[in-house]
Chain A
Amino acid sequence: MKILLIEDEPELRKSIKQFLYNEGYTVESAEDFPKASEKVFEYDYDCVLVDITIPKGNGLKIIDQLKERKSKAGIIIISAKNSLDDKINGLEIGADDYLPKPFHLSELNARIKAIIRRKSFDGNKLIVVNEISINSENRSVSVNSKDVVLTGKEYDLLLFFISNKNRIVSKNAIAEHLVGDHADQIDSHDFIYTHLKNLRKKLLEKGCADYIQTVYGIGYKFNNEITK
């Protein structure tokens, strides 16, 4: 999977690139508009991450260029401005998602995977991890071919873990993923614990291995190298 990262802040660019490498993507980057334009013109990507406030131009124009070239790349706008106008505008001109800074890498990961899944035309919306099978189109989950009934939040949680498998995911990241903007207003993360508990129970009931591990203090990890 090839990703183009358009971001002008060098430290952030480094961080994100590092993360994407670790996740197994091929990454290219551009730090300003002319370079971004060039890359978009010369290569095809599976996903493009655009910071709209790049020097010497406007990131939104890159989206226009991608659309003009009839690119099939998924487009995620990453922006520090978090302006509602930008969001509406961006989505209208063809971006697939809008992620305001600061974001968790695990969140970015989940969104990249979601978009790639949506854009994949091999018709297969099935995500399989060992005995767990997830159909992202109708949001259904089965373990060893037995259906597992999950609530909306439990499903989101499972998908988040699987998108970020083998990575330590912080509680903050999970909270933000599950409740978005409201994450700022919530005091404790007890609710994560509750959802997690229920999710685990339901999976284990159907004979699933216990992949979700607690990492002391900071979060959890979906470890799919556990053998039963």
Chain B
Amino acid sequence: MKLLNKYILVFLLTTLLIFLLGGFVFYNQLQNIISEEANEELYLKKEQFLKSIEKKETLSSVNSENANFSIEPITEKITETIVDTSIYVEEADEFIPYRKLIFNATNNNQFYKVSISKSLFESDDLIETIIQSLLIIAAFLIVIIIGVNYIFAKTIWKPFFKTINKINTFDINGLNSFEKENSSVKEFQELNKAIENMTKRILTDYENIKMFSENASHEMQTPISVIRTSIENMLQSENITEKEISQLESIENAVKKLSSLNKSLLLLTKIENNQFKETKNINISDLSKNLIEQYAAIYESKKISVNTTNSDLVLNINPHLAEILISNIISNAFKHTNVRGEIKIEIIDNQFKIANSGAPLKISENEIFQRFKKNEETSDSIGLGLSIVNSIIDLYNYKINYSYTSAMHTITVDF
């Protein structure tokens, strides 16, 4: 439930309760006051009457139509009482409430029952009117407050929703930092400040992570450089033996793998950290053609025949990643093609398909994209080529598929 509605519900119930209670108390108080006033008046009238008959010799019975006053002789004294009655008044065509004070009076040793009445008509009406007004005010108040709240709520909550929008569109790789919304509401100010601080921390941490992956590479490559250059220098020494050369070769090959591994892991980290944000329109067909030429030249000795059918395919992708993606797939194909084998490349619509002839894989189909999985355990490759391809595929939500049919390894990429 919306906060506003919750607020209003609570407020409504409380207001209603207060009004009810208050109304009840008010009504009671009113009744009491009016009742007391009526009583006072009756007693006053009683005193006045008693005073007035002190001088009189006889009292005549009165039973006035007026109903306000009646007097009759009685034989025994009665207890004084106050009674509330309703009397039908013809002129008003309704029952009118009356209060009657019945008391004793004596005159010349004769007992009289005297009753004085007072109409409560106006008092009743008064109370009714007051209660009605109260209810109307209450209803009015409630409606107005709900209305104002709803109207006001939009304005009041605007900065809050602006903040939410900013949070939703916050991009950790974005160029602008989180800009605080201004608000006169203290709670929103606090909220915005807290979010600003949090995003600052997040951005700093992220920058540190990015820096770390670059610095890690720096740290690793320098000692590798030292090893490599030292080996090269050693190689030039005058009296070097075949055995020593052989050992240097082993070291060099190991260093080459280390360096390659480092570069690849760094690349994977950067891809997964989404550090390749810039995209351009890249013509994949041109890129493929270029790379195929290069690899064909490199693997010339394998005498592989290459067939390509290209239609133009342009993707919005990071140029660096595009080259790595296509390059890894193509080099992988060339690597695993048998001598005098063939490679077929088709680029149609949004699909890139490459098929190469070759012996069946020794690892299972869904393993080839895993890190460090190599077809030949003894191979020189470090086995990260296709998992890098996989990361790039994941990044852009492309799809990649591998199958082996009719002695052809086929990799299909759907962009």
Contacts and interface: CB of A to CB of B under 8 A. Distances in A.
A104 B226 contact: no
A15 interface: yes
B196 interface: no
A167 interface: yes
Interface stretch (B51-59, B141-149, B230-238): B230-238
B301 A15 contact: no
Interface string A99-113: 011111110000000
Interface of A: 9, 11-12, 15-16, 18-19, 22, 53, 80-84, 100-106, 153, 167-168, 170, 172-173, 179, 182, 184-188, 190-191, 193-194, 215-219
A184 B235 contact: no
A193 B298 contact: no
B158 interface: no
A216 B242 contact: yes
A184 B301 contact: no
Interface stretch (B4-12, B69-77, B182-190, B250-258): B250-258
B299 A191 contact: yes
A12 B223 CA distance: 8
A172 B252 contact: yes
26 contacts: A11-B226, A12-B225, A15-B233, A19-B232, A22-B233, A80-B222, A81-B214, A81-B217, A102-B224, A102-B225, A105-B229, A153-B297, A168-B236, A170-B235, A170-B252, A172-B256, A173-B232, A182-B294, A182-B327, A185-B332, A187-B379, A190-B302, A216-B242, A216-B245, A218-B249, A219-B235
A22 B335 contact: no
B259 A102 contact: yes
Nearest to B335: A187
A105 B214 CA distance: 24
Nearest to A83: B214
B232 A80 contact: no
A102 B217 CA distance: 11
Nearest to B323: A181
A86 B228 CA distance: 23
A101 B301 contact: no
Contacts of A167: 236
Given A15-B226, A188-B380, A102 B245 contact: no
A19 B214 CA distance: 28
B362 to A, nearest CB: 15
B236 A187 contact: no
A208 B232 CA distance: 28
B221 A101 contact: yes
Contacts of B301: 190-191, 193-194
Contacts of A215: 245
B294 A179 contact: yes
B358 interface: no
A13 to B, nearest CB: 10
A220 to B, nearest CB: 11
B298 A186 contact: yes
Nearest to A151: B297
A218 B248 contact: yes
B232 A179 contact: no
B225 A218 contact: no
A217 B250 CA distance: 10
B226 A9 contact: yes
What are the 9 closest A-B residue pairs judged by CB atoms, nearest first? A15-B229, A102-B225, A185-B331, A80-B218, A80-B221, A218-B249, A11-B226, A194-B301, A101-B225
Given A80-B217, A217-B246, A184 B260 contact: yes
A217 to B, nearest CB: 5
Given A53-B218, A218-B235, A187 B381 contact: yes
Nearest to A167: B236
Contact of B245 (A15, A81, A191, A218): A218
Contacts of A82: 217, 221, 263
Given A104-B232, A168-B235, A218-B252, A12 B294 contact: no
B295 interface: yes
B328 interface: yes
Contacts of A182: 294-295, 298, 327, 331
A19 B233 CA distance: 7
B224 A101 contact: yes
A224 to B, nearest CB: 15
B289 interface: no
A84 B379 CA distance: 30
Contacts of A16: 229
B385 interface: yes
A12 B226 contact: yes
